[in-house]
Structure 1
Amino acid sequence: MKIDKKLIKELSEYLEEFNLTEIEFTEKDTKIKVSKNNVSINNQLTSGNRNIAAPKDNANQINNNNSGKEITSPIIGTAYHAPEPGAKKFVEVGKKIKKGDTVMIVEAMKTMNHVPSTDNGVVKEICVDDGNPVEFGQTLIILE
């Protein structure tokens, strides 16, 4: 089996571009799965399943040593800063918010899920761009 290095590189770039932790590509009997921690290729036609795993270059990973209270995504989906396009954003950097205030919407399976603040504080940083995909547990906002 020949390993398509170009495809693996392209999938790795998608991880960074779309802020994903894992992506999988399947074509016929070959499956390629790339994650932040490893790359694996699984070819179903070989006798027994061959898995090739190699550590991914961690140079591109950002080390976030954020001080403050983090508000994280409760689900996987798409993050939105406002209730509808063109509307006023739920939060802005420097805005004081209370526990329970909606800080963002995460849309999953055509359902808009309001994400409440888990604490009182002032918005220090908004970590996700409007319309970007988010993972479960990913930091959305940091409060001071």
Structure 2
Amino acid sequence: MKINKETIKELSEYLNEFNLTEIEYTDKDTKIKVSKTSATVTTAAAPIHAISATENSKNDITKQQSTSGTKVTSPIIGTAYHAPEPGAKKFVEIGKKIKKGDTVMIVEAMKTMNHVPSTADGVVKEICVEDGQPVEFGQTIIIVE
């Protein structure tokens, strides 16, 4: 099979002329696909995301190091909810006394509501996630002292 360089060059020019990122040409048994990526967008987007993730992890580490007490963590990846339904009374609030096994939050994953129990008796010192916020496995959701 012979590659038609003239067709590829013409398609490449169309990418620039019409500000496209990809173009495909088919003729009988021949199929040519020409694409480009915008280096500026790719390089600009990646560092911003990386910086954001780094700053968030630094904040989490600082928060975890400066806070004493028993950390109750999320057992799964999902969305954390402070109450059993919208408008209902929250499971815990800062300063509230709780016992080991009491539900402190619900983490919803794949339409399943998973009750997260406290791992210790004590007083809620800090609630580390907002209502409706996504959480990761092992992420601290409350701190009990």
* TM-score normalised by structure 2 residue count: 0.64
| Runs of 4 or more consecutive aligned structure 1 residues displaced over 2 Å after TM superposition | 9-13, 57-60
Is 1:61 matched with 2:99? no
- Separation in structure 2 between the aligned mates of residue 77 and residue 136 of structure 1, nearest angstrom: 8
Opposite residue 134 of structure 1, the aligned amino acid is: V
1:130 aligned residue: 131
Q: Which structure has greater helix proportion?
A: 2
CA distance in 1, matches of 2:131, 2:46: 28
Matched, 1:7 2:7: no
Structure 1 or 2, whichever has the larger Rg, is 2
In structure 2, runs of 5+ residues without a counterpart are 1-36
Secondary structure of 2:45's partner? helix
In the alignment, the residues of structure 2 paired with residue 85 and residue 9 of structure 1 have an alpha-carbon distance, to the nearest angstrom, of 37
Q: Which has the higher strand share?
A: 1
How many residue pairs align between the two structures? 103
TM-score, normalising length from structure 1? 0.65
Change in CA separation of 1:68 and 1:60 when aligned onto 2, cut-off 3 Å: closer
Matched residues in 1 for 2:103 and 2:130: separation?
A: 16
CA-based RMSD: 2.1
Identity %: 66
Q: What runs of 5+ residues in structure 1 fail to find an aligned partner?
A: 17-35, 37-56
